[in-house]
Chain A
Amino acid sequence: MTALAVRGLTHAYGGVPVLRAVDLSVSPGEVVAVVGPSGAGKTTLFRCLTQLVRADAGTLELFGTDLQQAQGKSLRLARRDLGLVFQSYNLVRRLTAMQNVLVGRLADVPAWRVLLRRFPAADEALAAACLDQVGLLPYAHTRADRLSGGQQQRVAIARVLASRARVVLADEPVASLDPASAASVLTALRSLATDHGKAVVCSLHQVDLVAGFADRVVGLRDGRVVLDVPVSQFDPAAASALYARAG
């Protein structure tokens, strides 16, 4: 079964085409890495996938629901199956790691509990388990702004895990991290697919990180998919062809 299926996704900003008929699919338990030079359309693709930007044309099916057609409440419900990991982590700085993971539970908790920050014991237990999963249980009560970049990104991954979203989209999650932190973040993302059966789509600009992380590599260039291969076939020659200057 396909978790997320994108067909013919096309988008332009002010008449300038950014995405040209992009096809992309990902199955539960699979990690797809999206690579390509700057300006290839990776960020726009991710904004369209989450419907933060509505694409001009194409279909975007999430477990059979076309997000391009969904609106209002049905879109809100469908989007609950999407978890997003951002380049800038997007944690609430003055909340603890644990309280940030609990953001993933907001939809299912009554408003008065959210206002008082008193979550049901089951949700707290789930949040703690998610933090443990990314190796940060000892930091549960540390404020987010006291954590390193790599730790903050792992809290963000635990937040996605706590939301029980079945498809995880990670937009350049390691772009501002040092190599060791980047490795720990990618390990945590990999385990979302391997241990929890999530479908993961992750954009990267360091092609050397792809091996040992992704199952499949999709190369984007000038808004087109120019490469869609198993990771074993993504060799240095394929990478340099993708990044070679046009003309």
Chain B
Amino acid sequence: MQARPGTGLAPAPVRPARPLPQRVLRWLLAAVAVAGFIGCLRLADVDPVELAEGLPTMAGWIGQAFPPSTEGLSTLLVRAAETVAIAVVGTAFAVVLALPLCVLAARTTTPSGWVRLPVRLFLNGLRGVDAFVFALLFVAAVGLGPFAGVLGIALHTWGSMGKLFSESIEALPGGPLEAAELTGASRLKTSSYTLLPDVLPSISSIGLYLLEFNIRASTVLGVVGAGGIGQELKNSVDLLAFPRLATILIVILVMVTAVDQLSARLRKALA
């Protein structure tokens, strides 16, 4: 092989061209992807003309919304507190429900697939149904109000939390548990004593993260009558009461930002 002039290095190898069938296949796949996306645009009724026509109306609403109304602010604040309460109680219930199940869903603590896989399926099922949908069902079952929201949040979060907790158990080194199991002690004792201390920081962090998420999720629960500030939100939209709507959005924004900041700080302290 000839050295490259002036460098003394061997010539850089030339990347071989892909064979023709592979190139054709790539173009075909790209064409299918583009066609699929166009189909999705059709199905979603995306229409830029409608958006353009609607813009002036929305601009008018924004104009009407100022200045935001301060009338009934104390009621709004009570509703906002209710939203936080739904998220806090719902998440706390989820922690209590998820702790025993995450042990059954983790490979390290439950090697038997006969138990682990059904538990995982159950948790995935809960996770697959949104808190909003659960709340809709519970409003029908237990009546209007924040308790239906609490149950909705708790059930959906149970699924997510169980899965995330079990993943953090699986991420721990298995050695300490193995050492404890050699003493012949029961699984309840060995796993609670050797896994809990090391997994506590990560499960607290997961709990805070889901609390943050649930506070955002609870702001809309009122739309289906499950309590909180969402109820006020829906009323104002229905009545086209824009100054009040602006106040509600500001309250939600402040609440969510404050909780996110607080939770982010706490999680940083745990890490």
Contacts and interface: CB of A to CB of B under 8 A. Distances in A.
Interface string A96-121: 00000001111101010011010000
A103 B193 contact: yes
Residue among A76, A91, A92, A111 with most chain B CB within 10 A: A92
Interface string A129-167: 000000000000000000000000000100100010000
A94 interface: yes
Contact of B183 (A50, A94, A103, A111): A103
A60 interface: no
17 contacts: A50-B182, A79-B184, A80-B183, A82-B182, A83-B182, A84-B179, A88-B173, A90-B179, A93-B197, A94-B197, A95-B197, A103-B179, A106-B183, A106-B185, A107-B183, A114-B185, A114-B192
A86 interface: yes
Contacts of A156: 179
B48 interface: no
A231 B192 CA distance: 43
A90 B189 contact: no
Contacts of B194: 92, 103
A79 B182 contact: yes
Contacts of B179: 84, 86, 90, 103, 156, 159
Query: What is the size category of the interface that chain B forms with chain A?
Result: 20 to 34
Given A76-B184, A106-B185, A92 B176 contact: yes
B200 interface: yes
Contact of A114 (B175, B193, B197, B198): B193
Interface string B163-194: 00000000001011011101111101110111
A238 interface: no
A219 B195 CA distance: 37
A144 B180 CA distance: 15
Interface of B: 173, 175-176, 178-180, 182-186, 188-190, 192-194, 197-198, 200
Given A94-B197, A95-B197, A111-B189, A104 B175 contact: no
A77 interface: yes
Closest 3 CB pairs of A and B: A90-B175, A106-B185, A80-B184
Contact of B189 (A50, A89, A91, A106): A106
Query: What is the size category of the interface that chain A forms with chain B?
Result: 20 to 34
A117 B185 CA distance: 15
A94 B200 CA distance: 10
Given A76-B184, A92-B176, A111-B188, A106 B193 contact: yes
A96 B175 CA distance: 17
Residue among B175, B184, B190, B198 with most chain A CB within 10 A: B184
A90 B176 contact: yes
A159 B178 CA distance: 13
A89 B179 CA distance: 9
Residue among B183, B185, B197 with most chain A CB within 10 A: B183
Contacts of B192: 114-115
Contacts of A86: 175, 179
Contacts of A94: 197-198, 200
B182 A93 contact: no
